Amino acid sequence: MQTLIENVNIINPFEDVKTSQSILIEDNIIKEISSKISTKSNVEVIDGDDNYLLPGFIDCHCHIFAKGFHKEENMANPLGIHFYNAVPHSLQTINAGVTTIRDCGSADLSFKLAQQRKLFIAPKAHLSITPLSMTGGHFDLFLPSGFDMEIMYPGFPKGRCDGVEEVLKKTREIKRAGADFIKVMCSGGVLTVNSSPDFPQFNKKELKTIVKEAKANNLKVSAHCHSLKGINNCIKAGFSSIEHGTFIDKKTSKKMAENDVSLVPTLLVHQFLYENGFPSWDNFAGEKNQKLKEIVKVHKENIAVAYEEGVNILMGTDSGVIPHGHNLEELYHLVDIGMSADEAIACGTINAVEYLNEPIGFVGEGKIADLILVNNNPLDDVSVLADNDNILKVIQDGIVIKN
């Protein structure tokens, strides 16, 4: 099957815009890019109408099953709702121009298989299945009431573990469940009660054990971590990425850059929650809001320092904590810390795919045809991408899935 996209302007980060181009896609691969292409008679032709063609974006931190992580909803809903939520969330993510996600906890192998089998429109997925959490740590959802609110079912292991032997076994269980990478809760967080973002979680021996076992299986390890001490513990242990990184400083940023540890700052999520709050029925809203006040003050400033020190930054949104479909608003926040539009777009395309080691994220011959068509040039104003109405088409594996 061949598809020809005519009359488009191609945008790749750090390259001049290629104007009035045509792109020939065969099956799911970009076969040719030229100003004029000869094709077979039965080719499907798409008129690009002089709009702008970019690679499909990669959201490196989201939770595709999640809808706010409200414990009250987990109590009220049958388990099936947990899975069905992924269908509208996936469509919202695709409509926002994101064709691949790195799910940092909640989605299981069924989602990845459903996407591959085209059971519904969804982004491709790299899965962590469920995060590792220490007893009393972030995402230990055992409440003082004695009720455990962690979702659990066959094929989805419980994440709680303590000590070298338990974290070793749990890492193996997560891999067995189909994980593409291991996610570890290495500091307190906003959404879990009785835990502070300031403090590290898991000890150094536990962290090194997780990394050693993951690397033996060629898996990277990612840390949810706000705490400065926690970030340093993760760097020493050999983690591949830090998620959030709220209290990072200049010295630690240099260490991250020297050790090739990537940062996924998720600037959007804290700002969104701070501005929009939590539902009135959320019994834990007061404690969460207090933590947000502390985080929002320093997060943007510290991430700007990390950027200035040369830390490799990837685009991630924490969608699922906030509503899905706002993904490319993160680019505006990246520009707001000092990035150029090129640099911000790179965080969600070429930087992300280098980290994931996938042949996507670039409009080039031989690459997989995951593409978006936009009605204005985002290099002039990156906020164009934040409005889903400006994303005219989304193409995944050579097939138009938003038109």
For the chain of 403 residues, list the mean pLDDT of each consecutive stretch of 10.
95 98 96 89 92 98 93 85 97 98 97 98 98 95 86 92 98 98 94 81 98 98 98 98 97 98 96 80 74 84 98 98 97 98 98 97 98 98 98 98 95
- Looking at the structure, tell me whether residues 41 and 136 fall in a common domain: no
- Looking at the structure, tell me whether residues 244 and 276 fall in a common domain: yes
pLDDT of residue 85: 97
pLDDT of residue 265: 98
Three-state SS for 92-156 is HHHHCCEEEEEECCCCCHHHHHHHHCCCCCCCEEEECCCCEECCCCCCCCECCCCCECCCCECCE
Total domains in the chain come to 2
Domain boundary among 356, 375, 390: 356
- Looking at the structure, tell me whether residues 305 and 394 fall in a common domain: no
The two structure tokens encoding residue 66: 């999640």
- Looking at the structure, tell me whether residues 234 and 135 fall in a common domain: yes
- Looking at the structure, tell me whether residues 19 and 124 fall in a common domain: no
Looking up residue 172, the CATH number of its domain turns out to be: 3.20.20.140
Looking up residue 44, the CATH number of its domain turns out to be: 2.30.40.10
- Looking at the structure, tell me whether residues 349 and 366 fall in a common domain: no
Largest separation between any pair of C-alpha atoms in the chain: 69
Domain that holds residue 48: 2-55+361-402
- Whole-number Å distance between alpha carbons of 306 and 237: 20
pTM for the whole structure: 0.96
The residue whose two tokens read 């509208």 is 88
Question: Beta-carbon neighbour count of residue 352 at 10 Å?
Answer: 26
pLDDT of residue 348: 98
Check if the beta carbon of residue 123 is closer than 8 Å to that of residue 94: yes
pLDDT of residue 275: 83
- Looking at the structure, tell me whether residues 178 and 168 fall in a common domain: yes
- Whole-number Å distance between alpha carbons of 37 and 370: 20
Helix (H, G, I), strand (E, B) or coil at 43: coil
